[in-house]
Amino acid sequence: MPQRRTSRYFTATVRDLTSDGRGVVAHPGGRVCFARGVWIDEVAEFELVATKGRSGVAELRTLITPSPHRIAPLCPHQGHSQGACGGCAWMFVEYSAQLQAKERRVRAALARLDRQDRVLPIRSAPATTGYRNRAQLKTDGEVIGFVSEGVRAISPIKSCAVLSAHNQQTLDALLGKLPNPAWRPRKGNRWRTIDIDETVDAGEASIDARLPFQQPNNAQNSYMRSWLGERLEQAAHGAGVELFCGSGNLTDVIAPHVPEVLAIDVSGEALAVLDHKRLAGVRAMQCDLGSAVALRRALAGSAHATLLVLDPPREGLLHRQAVFDALPGLTDVVYVSCDVASFARDVADFLKQGFDIDEVQPVDQVPHTPHVELLGRLSKRGR
């Protein structure tokens, strides 16, 4: 078919991938455009569908030169057009290529700090299907599914290739309850949420209320915990601080190695679960970690701590100076991150405080998505 060279339709090569997995292409008019469902070095015809400033959103219309890594998705619901499920955005690409793209992004971010040599080979997932131990489904009382990529609409599903066997059974049972007038959205809303994990069945699924956070991949979480335990064995610490401790996924690992641990989180519900574990030497504290004043107050009295472990949400550690001021005795930092950009930003400030990066271990926590988990170990220079 002849190529249409108009401002709306254009042919381009995918040169890079964004952090959310979209392809980066150049519009002939000079705009940088972002398109879903394409891979690095693919050549395709695109349609420019939206613009903002000097950037734009493009949609794939005709794939001219596909990547040798392109494959048929495992899931019939996967896709990038309206109505398809975009939850596993990279399922159309061989797993080895997914891993390479993730590791490359981590190395590029650390190269800006001249620390790309500290990045270890990415830890691949033992299983790329049937691994997900939790999910948030959407329903309007007529269908159940996930949000369709790029639009605010439910993509109905009958099965999900990445759900664990337990969660797939729960989904099957929930589908059997349709239609369900009790699940119809309230006025002004498009859907209601149904949170599931391996601790609940269909009768206990949480409607419009999040279940406590947990890492979504049991096998990779076990690896992360083992990795942390091995690092803690390499240095003795009398006191440590854990920020964003949640319900104690990593506190369980820290406590046997550190006699005194101050574990801080914003969620009282999560801290109640941690308290119930009665870990020796652990003092749990609720704190608004988005407030520098509250964080300074929470850390008062912990100046003798030599270890910091943190596992923040995507925005990272917002009040780094408050931590530096309150914890002058730090010699070792373990930073678990779910966002490459905020990790690199925060680590840059640790470097200015006299720390250096010993290692960064990328972990593929969520196969078939752009997400990559980072395990970073830093230590004070000249200690």
d(CA 311, CA 197): 21
This prediction's pTM? 0.94
**Element holding 72 (H helix, E strand):** none
Residue 6 has pLDDT above 70, yes or no: no
Q: Which one, of 178, 170, 172, 171, lies nearest residue 200 by Cα?
A: 170
- pLDDT tier for residue 2 given thresholds of 50, 70 and 90: very low
- 275-to-4, 270, 287 alpha-carbon distances in Å: 64, 9, 15
pLDDT in tens, 285-326: 999 999 999 999 999 999 999 999 999 999 999 999 999 999
CA 286 to chain centre: 23
pLDDT value of position 201: 92
- 330/3: higher pLDDT: 330
* Rounded Cα gap, residues 125 and 186, in angstroms: 39
User: For 81-107, how does the pLDDT look when each residue is reduced to its tens digit (9 = 90+)?
Assistant: 878 898 899 999 999 999 999 999 999
Spatial separation of the C-alpha atoms in residues 214 and 362, rounded to whole Å:
18
Percent of the chain at pLDDT above 90? 90
Q: Do the first three CATH levels of 9-65 and 218-380 match, i.e. the same topology?
A: no
**Class in CATH terms, 9-65:** mainly beta
Summarize pLDDT for 177-191 with one digit per residue, the tens. Answer: 999 999 999 999 999
How far is Cα 57 from Cα 43, in angstroms, rounded to an integer? 16
**What average pLDDT does the segment 63-79 reach?**
96
- pLDDT (mean) for 223-246: 97
Residue 283 pLDDT: 98
Closest to 68 measured CA to CA, from 37, 88, 92: 92
Give tens-digit pLDDT for 247-288. Answer: 999 999 999 999 999 999 999 999 999 999 999 999 999 999
**Band (5; pLDDT cuts 50, 70, 90):** very low
- Alpha helices by DSSP H, 28-132: 95-111
Model confidence band, residue 147 (pLDDT cutoffs 50, 70, 90): confident
Query: Nearest-CA neighbor of 348 among 156, 47, 109?
Result: 109
In the residue annotation, 338 being an active-site residue is answered as: yes
Q: What type of residue sits at position 314? A: R
* pLDDT(1) > 50: no
3-state secondary structure 311-367: CCCCCCCCCHHHHHHHCCCCCEEEEEECCHHHHHHHHHHHHHCCEEEEEEEEECCCC
Specify the pLDDT at position 150.
66
The bridge status of strand 144-147 relative to strand 55-65 is unpaired
Strand 154-156 and strand 239-243: the pairing is: unpaired
Fold of domain 218-380? Rossmann fold (3.40.50)
Cα–Cα nearest to 116, from 344, 372, 346, 349: 344
Q: Which of 75, 88, 245, 338 is catalytic?
A: 338
Residue 4 is predicted with a pLDDT of 43
Residue 354 CB neighbour total at 10 angstroms: 13
CA atoms within 13 A on the CB side of 22: 16
Cα separation, 118 vs 249, whole angstroms? 26
Rounded Cα–Cα distance for residues 30 and 28 (Å): 5
Summarize the confidence of residues 37-63 as an average pLDDT. Answer: 96
Q: Is the pLDDT at 223 greater than 70, yes or no?
A: yes
Would you kindly state where each structural domain of the chain is located, as residue ranges?
A: 9-65, 134-207, 218-380
Express each pLDDT in 154-179 by its tens digit: 999 999 999 999 999 999 999 999 99
Give the mean pLDDT of 196-222. 92
- Overall average pLDDT of the 325-339 stretch: 98
> What local confidence, expressed as pLDDT, does residue 36 receive?
94
Mean pLDDT of 20-35: 95
Average the pLDDT over 132-136 and give the result. 96
**Helix, strand, coil shares, percent, the chain, to 5:** 25, 30, 45
Using the predicted structure, report yes or no on whether residue 211 has a pLDDT greater than 60: yes
